[in-house]
Structure 1
């Protein structure tokens, strides 16, 4: 189904929300209207802005403001830009817009990670566009390359830093040696962390983004509920120090993989958790609140996308890019790419996903300890890649790095090791990425 052309009139845009990002979108639409019109082929008219309290936005032309988002969506507009966030009432408004043939631009990662299929089906039924570049990694052009530029390739892995708050915290812990709680306080003071940082530090934000990335990369519908999630609250200064001794650093990564079993069947693994990566890895040098995503594809090889992953102006840049694309389609009477979920690959449970572990143990200082520990690994079919002694310490402190094994086997191995009489404490357990298995 195609969208009717505009017959020379302007492209009318409704904006839902005027916070940090929305105010930047408003400014750019007003100040750069002539340039945007030249790029689109028709003028862009901001028809209205829905906000909760119109009297609290003196920076916006008052005639544009309304408290009735539903009425604005139902009005004679061509594109609805949603920057409110959350599931409801945003979902209802966007479904209404799409079903009426109005294109949607949104940065709502939580909504997309749970209801992208329903939104895509509504867009398909009416021929409207659904764009959401701003939902992952702010200003970084990432989703469009996955959906369009690499559409003819076979993507095998997408791995990256997609949450600026956690990356700022872990980077600061690495550079200063300060603990998690103190660094979180500093991140809050500087405005990198919200007053309630749960969505960031517990991995919910990154899991939503991982679901979107996996869905696009592997042509399969993946929801946030299917993404394995662990946060960074348990990371200690000693974990950071242990990584440094091994020339590694700790990052919270979203890892989405196409996994091929021995019988040739394929599945999707999507997970978010802290990992140790070598300092030589491309993602190790991504510090502060920046984002970076590393993509591996059969023909294209290794690609990396890097830049500002949040903030008003950077995110508004992504929103305006989508708005221009949707408006161009309106002018031409066509539409953009549709949802691609034809592969419909099943999700692989985290327990079956191949991972590697870095395990730090305090053990009794007597002969035969390593043999007992190694016997437990062997009993669970987990191969040891390296056993190290920390510099300046006795053999009572062991660091073991494993080869790839099913995550469930690694977990059960660690559980049994912790019960050995010769093991005083399992000091830390962390997954390892970015090295040969």
Structure 2
């Protein structure tokens, strides 16, 4: 796929007021997307309709209005859902039989960033060819259909309620959460009015934090990016569990009663272990950053495992390639395709709770067999233009470290996508061995060949 001018791996994202996150660009993007959707739509199915959801950033109002205007000018109807999680837009796009869904969110970033991404009619990322068509149309002149063909816009007041019921439907009818006290941290983001009711209506006593958005405080000191606040609240409230989401609610971290924090690898393991109790699990997709201990445990259980590039888009592609149902990232993006078409923090938490309720185990007991390997990572400067992948000294050092590990760990070397640095990571059964391995890699000069 050729390099894109505007779209990244997950739509368009940047600082508000920058070259892409501004009202003019959003208008052009809406018009370009609307034209593409209208051209691909079968008129016998009625007018093409798109839903727009957003998180709680102040800039969401501006971008929503500009996108709405562009879509309307292209002859596309618009449903405005207001603040709802990213996976809620995927669900509503699919269940309302719409041509596409649009999310205005920069996920875990601070409030002064924002982004625009799309879902297909099936509730998944747009196919590459459709995204390429939209990209190509952005720089074409703005136009407008005739007045009789303009798109209409209306707000849907029950979007949150619909999604709450969908989330609850992924939790078994014969189970409930009675007797559990759960601290729910919505990061002052899109799930502030959705996550607490989901767990409360399933029977839990809920103590909500990070549920007072003001347009500026999204992800600020709370949520999955700052789980230390959740740890404090779980202990202070003497709670059973804590659940932390990020700004658009597609990322999950959890905390148990002791204050122990569980990352995405551990939570994915809890889900897989719970599923294994009732049916075989063929395989799981992780990423380059998935802990080596997770891979070893999958091998022990006879479950297929594959690593994808970092990013939930690539995890999903790997799952679809194999027909596997489960995958995720250490950061907490977890996908359960037997529940939803995309990663979803609330639904992932419910699947962990399902495993706990059915087994009668605590979260610590659920993951007791998973031995997480110590990781040591260092960033080192990389000389401009240096081909680190064929660097003789680095190759020799990598071979030495891998020989020392003897299959009891791994080496991962990645270039930063945003700065001239190389990320050197070693995982090993023993923390001292990981530390020693990284020291050997760091000792290599990357200023020359």
Q: TM-score range by the shorter chain?
A: under 0.3
Q: Work out which structure has the larger RCO, using CA pairs closer than 8 Å and 6 or more positions apart in sequence.
A: 1
TM-score w.r.t. structure 1 length?
A: 0.26
